[in-house]
């Protein structure tokens, strides 16, 4: 606004001065133009101040911290903090991204159902696999640490456990720009050393409430969908374990829709209280 406006004012001044027959008239015109210029500068300063204020507001919004709504309890389920909805479950996918994780992420995205994808290091050791992991994250899903080789930590030395855990956290950070906030040990087996390391890494250690897709009778779409929705272990805050498997990917939509039909909502991992 300012440059064009000042040019207009100056042009007007020249025309008016040339049209004035007396010195007094010329001085009056000069005074009027001066007032207009000062007014325009005041407007410009106001606009700049408002722009700076907007930038400050934007910075505050970016740094805003999400208030936790759920916390993990001793039985590995999620319980509400204060008045959060208690009728919820947490969806988790282990052994990602093997063959079906991206397909599962797209299915869940279409259903508006959040989840944690727990990653094995041997599934993100190529550029193509890292690109898949990045796409899953960009779809809005949390990425967890599930060790490098799916090793039994109780059968591993402390140095091996350190490598199993830190390799994945480092690789995930390199790929998506942030370190995992959740850890799940293969077979649900932890050690004192792994627990301490996971805590030092600011990851929330979790196991699960129930899961079935590794059992032979549930390696089929209909049977798996039925048991995941009608399990005797389904309750408020249940931590549901699934894997990157063909039959699980096929059953996923039925599982989500079946749980919703029972009145369950799905926990956003970003609202889970982490390690302080």
Cβ density class 141-174: b for 16+ within 10 Å, e for less: bbbbbbbbebbebeebeeeebebbbbbbbebbee
Which domain does 53 fall in, by range?
2-62
Q: Across residues 109-118, what is the average pLDDT?
A: 98
What's the burial of 61, exposed, middle or buried (CB within 10 Å: 0-12/13-18/19+)? exposed
pLDDT, greater one: 139 or 26? 139
The fraction of the chain above a pLDDT of 70, given in percent, is 76
Evaluate the omega torsion of the peptide bond into residue 97 and state whether it is cis, within 30 degrees of 0. Answer: yes
219 in the same domain as 178: yes
123 in the same domain as 58: no
Could you read off the pLDDT of 50-62 as tens digits, one per residue? 545 454 444 434 4
165 in the same domain as 55: no
**Confidence grade of residue 66 (pLDDT, cut at 50, 70, 90):** confident
Q: Across residues 124-143, what is the average pLDDT?
A: 97
186 in the same domain as 54: no
Residue 157: C-alpha distances to residues 18, 153, 186, 192, 194 (Å): 94, 8, 15, 12, 10
7 within a domain of the structure (yes/no): yes
Could you read off the pLDDT of 145-181 as tens digits, one per residue? 999 999 999 999 999 999 999 999 999 999 999 999 9
The fraction of the chain above a pLDDT of 90, given in percent, is 75
- Read off the DSSP letter of residue 99: S
Paired tokens of 257: 């829709």
96 within a domain of the structure (yes/no): yes
123 in the same domain as 43: no
Q: What is the CATH number of the domain that holds 118?
A: 3.20.20.370
Q: How many domains does the chain have?
A: 2
Paired tokens of 183: 């850890």
Tokens 């509400």 belong to residue: 80
Of 36-50, 134-148, 150-164, which range is least confident?
Answer: 36-50
276 within a domain of the structure (yes/no): no
């Amino acid at each position: 606004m300012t440059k064009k406006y000042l040019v207009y004012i100056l042009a007007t001044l020249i025309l008016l001065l040339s049209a004035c027959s007396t010195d007094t008239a010329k001085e009056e015109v000069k005074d009027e133009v001066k007032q207009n210029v000062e007014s325009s500068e005041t407007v410009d300063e106001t606009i700049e101040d408002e722009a700076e204020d907007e930038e400050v507001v934007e910075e505050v919004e970016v740094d805003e911290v999400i208030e936790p709504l759920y916390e993990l309890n001793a039985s590995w389920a999620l319980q509400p903090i204060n008045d959060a909805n208690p009728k919820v479950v947490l969806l988790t996918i282990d052994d990602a991204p093997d063959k079906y994780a991206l397909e599962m992420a797209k299915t869940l995205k279409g259903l508006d159902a959040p989840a944690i994808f727990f990653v094995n290091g041997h599934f993100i050791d190529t550029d193509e696999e890292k690109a898949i992991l990045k796409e899953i994250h960009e779809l809005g899903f949390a990425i967890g640490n599930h060790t490098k080789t799916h090793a039994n930590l109780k059968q591993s030395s402390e140095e091996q456990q350190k490598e199993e855990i830190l390799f994945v956290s480092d690789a995930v950070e390199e790929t998506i720009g942030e370190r995992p906030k959740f850890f799940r040990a293969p077979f649900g087996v932890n050690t004192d050393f792994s627990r301490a390391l996971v805590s030092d890494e600011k990851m929330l250690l979790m196991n699960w409430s129930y899961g079935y897709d590794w059992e032979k009778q549930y390696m089929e779409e209909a049977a798996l969908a039925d048991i995941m929705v009608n399990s005797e272990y389904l309750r408020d805050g249940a931590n549901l374990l699934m894997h990157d498997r063909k039959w699980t990917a096929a059953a996923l939509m039925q599982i989500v829709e079946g749980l919703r039909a029972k009145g369950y909502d799905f926990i956003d991992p970003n609202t889970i209280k982490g390690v302080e």
